[in-house]
Structure 1
Amino acid sequence: MRVLRMAFDVVVPVAVALLCAVAVLGTSRYAGVVTVLTALAALVSGAALWWRRRHPVPVTAVALAGGLAVQLVAPMTVFPLAALVAVGSLAATRPPRLSLPALALLLGLVSLNFRTTTAEDARFVLAVAVVVWALGEAVRNRRVAVAQAAERAVAEEQARIARELHDVIAHGVSVIVVQAAAADDVFDRAPDRARESLRSIEATGRATLDELRKLLAGPDGRPGLDRLADLVGPLRAAGLLVDVRCERPPLPPGVDQSAYRIVQEALTNTLRHARASRAEVLVRDDGGVLELEVRDDGRGGAPVGPGRGIAGMRERAALLGGTVEAGPAPGGGFRVRARLPLAVTA
């Protein structure tokens, strides 16, 4: 899948650039320098499509300018291919407030066909431009829906854990406080009763730790790293290419679940904030420590807004004695790197 995506990303700019340049050379109504310069403009507008996923706005501007030059010099070139592809990519990655003005400019460019070809052909190209924009907008809406669903799932999971932690810890601490107060009251005059209270405190603390371990481990069926394929499937459907390399050793249940949630949150942030087209997930055993790395090719900035995604990942790792590092990656993009000890101690 990744190879096909990369091949498509290469083939489209090359094919469009060559087709546009050949069309100019074959149908130009001018001779000499004007035709050569226009063919070069066509090549540039097609080649610019290589960056259409990362920089759709400037690429669209270049494609529209190139399309205008081609239309003026070689009006028999009815379809502005580079502009059509660029506007579709823009609609797929940016909201309508940016893509609709680009569509309007594209329609204006295509309308020049009314001067040089039949009205029927010109209307057909106008319809194609609108359909291309609509398909891109549909892809964007799908991505937004998936991101919102992932956000709701994360929020629900965080709320569930918070509720369960509150119940477990509040009960245990309340009992410990009461027993400590009782031990203090009878410490001098009834040391045996004080010792009973202290033993009760110890038992309550152990029971609370045991409940916390069970909470981290989760019941059967709670997701772990063996369900990474289920996690990345919807993200791929939303347009984020995710490459997973998992060398997973046998894991304690708590580590397995927390590792899954960290990867889930990192990929959700990538989809929501990074404007990335690709992400890589690496899972490996580094000498008794589970190492997770999620890296994307997006804009490299930290997630914005009031969310607690990175903080939540760090809290999960800290509960297991691990760490999470998050920030811009060398060479571009954003990277989340977690290290979770495989031997979890109380």
Structure 2
Amino acid sequence: MRTDESTWCAVPPGTAVLAERDRIGRELDDRVTRPLFTIGLGLHGLAARVPSGQVGQRLRQVVEQLDEVIREVRETVFDLREVEGDSGPGLRARLLAALAIRTADSRVASTVSLPGDLDRLVPPWAAAGAEAVVVAAVGDVLRHARATEVAVQVRAGAELRIDVTDNGCGLPADEARAGLRELACRATNHAGALEVGPEPGGGTRLTWRLPLPGAQAAPDESPL
């Protein structure tokens, strides 16, 4: 294959490396993370129906181990994709696709509220973290909260704010410590914050905030 030398020289240094990292991240997400997540949901549902005993206890241990593997793979994927200049689908499309995939085979009804111009308001360095937060938070609701409803609201302006609420029984204390640690780190690394607490009518609210320097006031959200 012939390569035009002038065009090749004009490519910014590191562009090929960043593109390859993004490609690997997408393939890992499509071929590893999502199938693992589906398997985990199936095992979690099976474990809930197995009576207490040696087999049931072992099955629940396997589910916990798989949850940890999913978290580690997911962290690797988002680290790979957390680069400037993503030429693929925007954050809004990625969030909608991620939620559709993760709730398709569950009995949990989901609602989403996103700004229409979310892709313009959220820079690439913050978008990767936002996607990771929504995927992790919704995944924890599906696996542990015993909820029938989950709602995701994203607002962007002076800060990026993500609220994930459910009507379930709440997260176990050990799961909250392990599963939310990476989300808290993603926020605090950029002067943000993570808050998790009970909803007044029952269930749990997770709020993740991240300052967006130089941003304007938040526009109205577009409910979907």
Task: Return the offset for 1:218.
Answer: 7.2
Q: Secondary structure at the match of 1:343?
A: coil
CA–CA separation in structure 1 for the residues paired with 2:68 and 2:88: 21
Instruction: Name the counterpart of 1:233.
Output: 100
AA at the equivalent of 2:174: V
* 1:217 and 1:257 in contact (8 A); partners too: no
Q: Secondary structure at the match of 1:276?
A: coil
Instruction: Name the counterpart of 2:50.
Output: 96
Task: Return the offset for 1:239.
Answer: 2.0
* 2:78 and 2:128 in contact (8 A); partners too: no
* 2:78 and 2:132 in contact (8 A); partners too: no
Task: Return the offset for 1:333.
Answer: 0.4
CA–CA separation in structure 2 for the residues paired with 1:336 and 1:217: 27
Task: Return the offset for 1:290.
Answer: 1.2
1:244 and 2:131 matched: no
What is the CA RMSD across the aligned residues, in angstroms?
3.5
AA at the equivalent of 2:96: A
Q: 1:183-208, CA deviations, whole angstroms, 9 ceiling, x for partnerless residues?
A: xxxxxxxxxxxxxxxxxxxxxxxxxx
What is the number of equivalent residue pairs in this alignment? 157
Instruction: Name the counterpart of 1:272.
Output: 143
CA–CA separation in structure 2 for the residues paired with 1:233 and 1:160: 19
Instruction: Name the counterpart of 1:169.
Output: none
Task: Return the offset for 1:155.
Answer: 2.0
Instruction: Name the counterpart of 2:131.
Output: 260
1:290 and 2:207 matched: no
Task: Return the offset for 1:310.
Answer: 0.8
Question: Of 191, 195, 206, which residue of structure 2 is paired with 1:325?
Answer: 195
TM-score by length of 1: 0.39
CA–CA separation in structure 1 for the residues paired with 2:69 and 2:153: 25
CA–CA separation in structure 2 for the residues paired with 1:291 and 1:222: 21
Q: Which moved more, 1:306-315 or 1:262-271?
A: 306-315
CA–CA separation in structure 2 for the residues paired with 1:153 and 1:222: 23
The 1:217–1:278 alpha-carbon spacing in structure 2 relative to 1, beyond 3 Å, is: farther
Q: 1:121-156, CA deviations, whole angstroms, 9 ceiling, x for partnerless residues?
A: xxxxxxxxxxxxxxxxxxxxxxxx9x9988654321
The 1:156–1:218 alpha-carbon spacing in structure 2 relative to 1, beyond 3 Å, is: farther
CA–CA separation in structure 2 for the residues paired with 1:233 and 1:148: 25
Task: Return the offset for 1:326.
Answer: 1.1
Instruction: Name the counterpart of 1:339.
Output: 209
Superposed, 1:19-168 pairs within 5 Å as 94-97=48-51, 152-159=69-76
Q: Secondary structure at the match of 2:143?
A: helix
Q: Secondary structure at the match of 1:308?
A: helix
Task: Return the offset for 1:215.
Answer: 4.3
Q: 1:74-123, CA deviations, whole angstroms, 9 ceiling, x for partnerless residues?
A: xxxxxxxxxxxxxxxxx88941328xxxxxxxxxxxxxxxxxxxxxxxxx
Instruction: Name the counterpart of 1:88.
Output: none
Bigger RCO (CA 8 Å, 6+ sep): 2
Task: Return the offset for 1:317.
Answer: 1.1
Gapped regions of structure 2 (runs ≥ 5): 1-44, 53-62, 215-224
The 1:246–1:160 alpha-carbon spacing in structure 2 relative to 1, beyond 3 Å, is: closer
CA–CA separation in structure 2 for the residues paired with 1:319 and 1:334: 24
Task: Return the offset for 1:251.
Answer: 1.1
The 1:294–1:309 alpha-carbon spacing in structure 2 relative to 1, beyond 3 Å, is: same
Which structure has the bigger radius of gyration? 1
Q: Secondary structure at the match of 1:244?
A: strand
Task: Return the offset for 1:230.
Answer: 1.3
CA–CA separation in structure 1 for the residues paired with 2:106 and 2:82: 32
**Structure showing the higher helix proportion among its residues:** 1
CA–CA separation in structure 2 for the residues paired with 1:275 and 1:93: 13
Q: Secondary structure at the match of 2:121?
A: coil
Identity %: 28
AA at the equivalent of 1:226: A
The 1:158–1:220 alpha-carbon spacing in structure 2 relative to 1, beyond 3 Å, is: same
